[in-house]
Amino acid sequence: MAVREILKMGDARLLRLAEPVRAFDTPELQALIADLFDTMEAANGAGLAAPQIGENLQLVIFGFSNNARYPDAEPVPRTVLINPVIEPIGDAEEEGWEGCLSVPGLRGVVPRFARIRYRGFDPSGQRIEREVQGFHARVVQHEVDHLIGRLYPTRMRDMSKLGYTSVLFPDLDAEPED
Ligand code: NI
């Protein structure tokens, strides 16, 4: 499998609506998922969406037990989520810092629903349904936004809270790329 190039903000391929996955449990799907994990792990990411490597499909991965880019985040189970749908539980929002491998070097404060229910499928076509909160809810909302062509800066309400990771969080300097 392979570490793939991650598209960066400004690339029109990040702005498309992704197509649903129609065939599960295929070698092509397994190969794509393996590439996504290799690419995410090489970049120390918390999540990655297929459109970020130029594959216009409704497929995201996320999860970590301990992430160098988000040292204070609680663990999120390693998940492949296909054809996802998100539903907020209540109106409560939380603000939190986000970064994105397609927006390297920057962090911004983004409002997200505090609690969500998400549904979708795993790679073999089994249903996934979870109710989550906190960083898990944030990561899923961020990744699923990639499937509708949204990058986190377009969700920000206060652009004064966008800055360079190296300035905002100098202790994270071990990752110069983001
Ligand atoms: Ni992202």
Q: What is the pLDDT of residue 69?
A: 84
Residue with tokens 């393996």: 34
State how far Cα 102 lies from the chain centre: 10
Give pLDDT tens digits for 50-98.
Answer: 999 999 999 999 998 888 888 888 899 999 999 999 999 999 999 999 9
Q: Is residue 5 part of a domain?
A: no
Taking 60 as the threshold, does the pLDDT of residue 4 lie above it? yes
Q: What is the mean pLDDT of residues 140-162?
A: 98
Please choose, from the candidates 88, 79, 77, 150, the residue with its C-alpha nearest in 3D space to the C-alpha of residue 121.
Answer: 79
The count of structural domains within the chain is 1
pLDDT value at residue 174: 53
Please report whether residue 84 resides in a domain: yes
Centre of ligand 1 from the C-alpha of residue 143, in Å: 6
DSSP E strand boundaries for 39-105: 47-49, 59-64, 76-88, 93-98
Q: Is 93 a catalytic residue?
A: no
pLDDT in tens, 97-137: 999 999 999 999 999 999 999 999 999 999 999 999 999 99
Residue 4 belongs to some domain of the structure? no
- How many angstroms is it from 109 CA to the middle of ligand 1? 14
Give 25's pLDDT tier (boundaries 50, 70, 90). Answer: very high
Amino acid at 34: A
CA 170/CA 156 separation, integer angstroms: 22
Identify whether 173 is part of a domain: no
Q: How far is the CA of 139 from the centre of ligand 1 (A)?
A: 9
The mean of the pLDDT values for the chain is 95
Q: Is residue 41 part of a domain?
A: yes
Q: Which of 96, 83, 90 is nearest to 127 (CA)?
A: 83
156 falls within a domain? yes
Q: Is the pLDDT of residue 49 over 90?
A: yes
Cβ atoms < 10 Å from Cβ of 25: 11
Q: Extract the tokens encoding 70.
A: 């988000």
Q: What are the C-alpha distances in Å from 30 to residues 24, 54, 127?
A: 9, 16, 17
Query: How far apart (Å, rounded) are the C-alpha atoms in residues 167 and 140?
Result: 26
**Domain residues for 113?**
12-168
- What is the 135 CA–ligand 1 centroid distance (Å)? 14
Query: Catalytic residue among 19, 41, 98, 143, which?
Result: 143
Residue 148 lies in a domain: yes
- Which token pair is 105? 């070097």
Give me the residues near ligand 1 (ion), CB cutoff below 5 Å. 100
Contact 116, 131 (CB under 8 A): yes
Output the six-digit token pair for 126.
Answer: 């089994």
d(CA 30, CA 64): 20
Domain membership of residue 6 (yes or no) is: no
What was the pLDDT predicted at 177?
46
Where residue 103 sits, what CATH number does that domain have?
Answer: 3.90.45.10
Cα(116)–Cα(84) distance, rounded to whole angstroms?
A: 12
